[in-house]
Structure 1
Amino acid sequence: MRLAVFSDIHGNLEALEAFCADVESQRIDRYMCLGDIVGYGADPEACVVRLRSLPNIEFILGNHDHAVVGAPCSMRRDARRVIEWTKRQLSAESLYFLQSLDVFRNWGDALFCHANPYRPLEWYYVADKSHISRSFARSRAKILFVGHTHVAMAITRRNFFCVYLRHPRNGTIVPAAELNRQIFNCGSIGQPRDGDPRASYLIYDSDKKSVEFIRVAYDHAAASRKIREAGLPEIFAERLATGS
Structure 2
Amino acid sequence: MLIALLADLHANREAAEACLAHAARAGAGRTVFLGDLVGYGGDPAWMVDMVMAHMERGAVAVLGNHDEAAVKGPSEAMVPDARAAAEWTHAALSAAQRDFLAGLPLAVEDGACLYVHANAWAPERWGYINGASAAERSLKATDRRVTFCGHVHQPALYHLSPVGHASHFEPQPGALNPLGGRRRWLAIPGSVGQPRDGNPAACYALFDDATGVLTFHRVPYDHETAARKVLQAGLPPRLAARLREGT
Query: What range describes the TM-score normalised by the shorter chain of this pair?
Result: over 0.9
Tell me if the contact between 2:14 and 2:226 (Cα under 8 Å) persists in the aligned partners. yes
Give TM-score scaled by structure 2 length. Answer: 0.94
Tell me if the contact between 2:107 and 2:115 (Cα under 8 Å) persists in the aligned partners. yes
Tell me if the contact between 1:142 and 1:177 (Cα under 8 Å) persists in the aligned partners. no
Tell me if the contact between 2:117 and 2:151 (Cα under 8 Å) persists in the aligned partners. yes
Distance 1:59 1:36 in 2: 10
Letter in 2 for 1:76: V
Distance 2:70 2:228 in 1: 23
Deviation at 1:53, TM superposition (A): 2.2
Residue in 2 that maps onto 1:179: 182
Residue in 2 that maps onto 1:165: 169
- SS of the equivalent of 1:155 reads strand
1:4-27 per-residue CA deviation (whole Å, 9 max, x = no partner) reads 111101011111111121111121
- SS of the equivalent of 1:53 reads helix
Q: CA RMSD in A?
A: 1.3
Aligned residues: 243
Farther off after superposition, 67-76 or 108-117: 67-76
Distance 1:162 1:79 in 2: 31
**Which structure 2 segments of 5+ residues have no match?**
none
1:61-120 per-residue CA deviation (whole Å, 9 max, x = no partner) reads 000001111166220111111101101110111111001000000111111100001100
Residue in 2 that maps onto 1:53: 53
Question: Identity of paired residues, percent?
Answer: 37
Q: Would you say 1:135 and 2:132 are equivalent positions?
A: no
Distance 2:146 2:239 in 1: 32
1:144-184 per-residue CA deviation (whole Å, 9 max, x = no partner) reads 11100111111122234333222x23212111142111110
Give TM-score scaled by structure 1 length. Answer: 0.95
- SS of the equivalent of 1:16 reads helix
Residue in 1 that maps onto 2:66: 64
Residue in 1 that maps onto 2:106: 103
**Which structure 1 segments of 5+ residues have no match?**
none
Residue in 2 that maps onto 1:28: 28
Deviation at 1:128, TM superposition (A): 2.5
Structure 1 residue runs of 4 or more that deviate by more than 6 Å after TM superposition: none
